[in-house]
Amino acid sequence: MPCGASVDLAGAGRHDPDARPVRGLRGIGGLSSAAHSLSLAHRSDFVKAVFHDLMPSHFCRGYLIMSSAEAAPNEENDSAFLDAEPVSSSLTIIDVVLIGGLTFSLSFVFGLAYGVYLGTQGYTSQEIVGHFDLPEGQEIGMLLGLGALFIGPVLLVPIFARLRGVRLADLGFRRSDRRFYLYALLGLVFVLGVGLALERFLDASDIALLSEANDDLLASDGLPLIVSLVLAILLVPFAEELFFRAALYNAFVQYMPGLAAGFLGTIVFTAVHTQYLLLGGWAAAVGLFQIFLLGGILMWLYSQSRSIWPPVLLHSANNTIAFLVVIYLI
């Protein structure tokens, strides 16, 4: 059925200012190879005829660009979770599992390296083990462990992508339409509003638990506090968006509908934030619900923009506010 889409195989066709680029039609039958075998002068007419007469209308929403070059990096993607299509290439679920396992192994490697360093400073093996029971050793051990957990995805996701022939642009390293940055800020306001509303479910004992959990961090002046700030605001948002959205979501969406992939990815994102379980009671439930809500908004931003940067902005802004609240209000 005619859909009014303008098709250009040569990449220099007519542009309708009201039309929008649409992706995801590469694998339709043998259409692409058949069109390629025709002369350049007849390709456009051939594909027009096929799409005009054979393709259902929901495949023809806008201006179809079919060229050897990729679509513009800031192209719009208005498909909802339910209609989300896999990108042209992505990491597999096995890749994501391997990245996760190697990331946890990196924590052990960092700790071992610190132990070797202490050995070069004259510490005996017993003193090295006992050092991690001291406040200074616990702080350094925590920072090394957290640093490894978030440095891991930053290093490993691009490495696995290169080994698999996956372009970084397909993972989300591309420009995004400005409206998605506005959506990110609106999402931040929404998450903060829900958080304030949920405070009514917390009593004085819950607030005391939160305060006690952060006493050690606030008592450590100097380097540990600065490193924690850098981790929370810069490294953690980038690493988590790279792993949970760019790698995990794209792996899931190869095997299931976009809505299911987004929901399952958000569940995994929530489940790894086990620190909230230590609070117990309503404090744990409220904390996990906020993480689930934040994860859902981050997943929606990524699936719609196909860019990692809007969710990184929201994630970083959220962590910044949470860090300031911990320091000044709790």
Please give the Cα distance from 175 to 300 (Å, whole number).
17
The torsion angles phi and psi of 172, rounded to 5 degrees, stand at 125, 5
Q: Looking at residue 118, what is its pLDDT?
A: 83
Q: Are residues 110 and 191 in contact, defined by beta-carbon separation less than 8 angstroms?
A: no
Low-confidence stretches of the chain (pLDDT beneath 50): 1-80, 82-83
Q: Looking at residue 213, what is its pLDDT?
A: 54
Burial per residue of 83-109, b for 16 or more beta-carbon CB atoms within 10 angstroms, e otherwise:
ebebbeebbbeebbeebbebbeebbee
Q: Looking at residue 249, what is its pLDDT?
A: 97
Q: Where are the domains of the chain?
A: 7-71, 93-101+166-328
Q: Looking at residue 69, what is its pLDDT?
A: 38
Please give the Cα distance from 204 to 123 (Å, whole number).
44
pTM for this prediction: 0.69
